[in-house]
Amino acid sequence: MLLLLGAACKEKAKGDKKKTRQDAQMQQASEETGAMTDPWEVLFDGTSMDAWKGYRMAEIPSPWKLEDGAMVFYPPENGPEGESYNLVSRKTYGSFVLSLEWKISEGGNSGIFWGIVEDPKYGQPYETGPEIQVLDNKRHPDAANGDTHQAGALYDMVAPRSDVTKPAGEWNLCEITVDYESEKGKVVLNGAEIVSFPLGNEAWDAMVAASKFKGWEGFGKSRTGKIGLQDHGDMVAYRNIKIKSL
């Protein structure tokens, strides 16, 4: 009887170990499958700026620093006149959802571009890429130049429905959707949808024609391009940047 009980205990122990190994293997497989099916591509996780470079440059320009889990732009005090230090993604994107956080300095100005064509004939990202405005609405004079220049706006074309920005020096969560299939785009800022706009159709063309970008050769023409973060001469920070292709 004791021999039978001992054998049974040994068999149970073997079975428990086998089950534990199987459970571990299933968990690992589940995690690997989840990683493979995750639609989000991380563009900045707080540790590396490898997914970015300077516009028409090979590397990250020196005024951009990795600091406290963010990419922070410190405007040079004695930089060459007319020199810009805009960042662009190394990869190009078509339709997407872009999620990031931005923090602007007091009186600061910056912007988020998409559809940038990096070509020698275009000196700045804004010549081709539409911009979602990043701004200190309370202090920067551009906020008084019409509501299409305020934070969250599709710059000079569509104004935000409301001002949901946090004070300068605090983080704002921004989600930008650009969907050429549905011909629609939108901006969600701090959980509120504040901007919607047409894309890649006659309504878009009419909107551009009524803006400062009327007649610009390459503006908003490409359905694929780079994501950009603007140097507008003011301190600004970005973090937790990810993108999902549609």
Residue 23 Cα distances to 11, 26, 29, 55, angstroms? 18, 5, 10, 49
Q: Which CATH number describes the domain made up of 40-245?
A: 2.60.120.560
What does pTM read for this prediction?
A: 0.84
Q: What is the mean pLDDT of each run of 10 residues along the chain (246 residues)?
A: 48 57 60 70 98 97 97 87 89 98 98 97 97 97 92 98 97 98 98 98 98 97 98 97 98
Domain ranges of the chain: 1-38, 40-245
